[in-house]
Amino acid sequence: MAPVLRALAEEPHAIGVSCCTGQHDELLTPVLSLFGIHPDYQLKVMSANQQLSALTCVLLTQLEKVLIREKPDRVLVQGDTTTAMVASLAACYLKIPVSHIEAGLRSHNPLEPFPEEINRRLVDDIADTFFAPTPVELNDLLREGKDPERIFVTGNTSIDALRLVLEMPFRVQDTALEGVPFGVKRILLATVHRRENHGLPLRKICMAIRLIAHRYRHEAHIVIPVHPNPNVRKCVHSMLGGISNITLTPPLGYQELITVAKACHFAFTDSGGLQEELTWLGKPALVLRNVTDRREAIDAGAATLVGAELESIVPAAIQLMEDAALYQGMAQPRQLFGDGTAAKQIVDILQHNGPWLPATEGSTGVVTTAATLPFAA
């Protein structure tokens, strides 16, 4: 959402009001700082061991208060977090139009990713305007009966953010990456956090990474930003801690993460957004999921779906380490998810398509946006 807020700030006829709910606060705060975003509202809704039902209740109550106070003409939400879903619902209850950025992503399995697949379907059932990353999402929205005149293929704002970050200066000294042997060994990046991978699947993933680390202990070094969820942190540290060619870091800031992604030979990941960024950077991805909502990367040969089984992860990693022709075929920079201008396109569309962007009664006629800022890794 950061690029959209920046684009709104440059639009003289728009007023953007940003609301940060605090879901994934420890991950989001560095991103806000990096992009110079100062949310108008910081709700801090999270609590220890919070269940999805409790989070949904408190989000609905708190976001409704913000919307009643601001009376926006339109609410923008991005992605598939519980924050995005509840913000859409709160707007619906107050009869405020909703636009969905990153609309139409589908794995076609309601349990993978969970609850994200359900969240984004609910958002798209509420929204009246859809900003789809690619024609794949456009086609899924059309199959679900959405109005084709209200679907716009813009690319994803994740690529906008990536381009901005690549232009910023960054040094690894005095960061969590200091000591990583960039330029000396092949760097492998591993990120894992999905709920469906908690438990036995995560243990299998860690075992696979441990086997790869041992096999290539002289040639490769693996960097793993450890997600703060206790279900992830405890398992990763117990199975992969203390291995000389594995660096376990706290959650990385966006610049740090992109620095590793840009330098890596390939990545193991169950993240959604990182699948997009890796394709732009020309880095192969082994996707640690049974299904993916970024089918474009699989279809283009930029990523391989390997799930959470040793029998599929380890051979795929060995191939990328040892088969130069296979690697070169995958390691091609591709603009599968946009050209980095999604945010400007979105704001232009909102400003210049008045017939379906009604001003609310008593409004000034400007586009006032209450933007939720869920973290999208």
Q: How is domain 186-330 classified at the architecture level of CATH?
A: 3-Layer(aba) Sandwich (3.40)
Q: What's the start-to-end Cα distance of the chain, in Å?
A: 12
Centroid of chain to Cα 265? 21
From 100, 120, 221, 227, the catalytic residue: 227
108: annotated active-site residue: no
From 70, 80, 276, 296, the catalytic residue: 80
Whole-number Å distance between alpha carbons of 217 and 364? 63
Please, which pLDDT band fits residue 282 given cuts at 50, 70 and 90? very high
227: annotated active-site residue: yes
24: annotated active-site residue: no
Residues 301-332 have pLDDT tens digits of: 999 999 999 999 999 999 999 999 999 999 99
Residues 198-257 have pLDDT tens digits of: 999 999 999 999 999 999 999 999 999 999 888 899 999 999 999 999 999 999 999 999
186-330 matches 2-156+338-372 in CATH topology? yes
Of the candidates 117, 105, 71, the one whose C-alpha atom is nearest the C-alpha of residue 91 is 71
Please, which pLDDT band fits residue 365 given cuts at 50, 70 and 90? very low
Whole-number Å distance between alpha carbons of 156 and 293? 13
Q: DSSP H helical segments within the chain, as ranges? A: 2-9, 25-34, 52-70, 82-93, 116-126, 135-143, 157-166, 200-215, 230-240, 254-263, 273-281, 295-299, 310-322, 324-330, 342-352
What is the three-class DSSP state of 26?
A: helix
From 186, 195, 198, 203, the catalytic residue: 195
- Kindly tell me if the per-residue pLDDT of 363 is higher than 80: no
From 73, 112, 116, 270, the catalytic residue: 116
Q: Does domain 2-156+338-372 have CATH number 2.40.110.10?
A: no
Report domain extents, the chain: 2-156+338-372, 186-330
pLDDT for 24 equals 64
Please, which pLDDT band fits residue 76 given cuts at 50, 70 and 90? very high
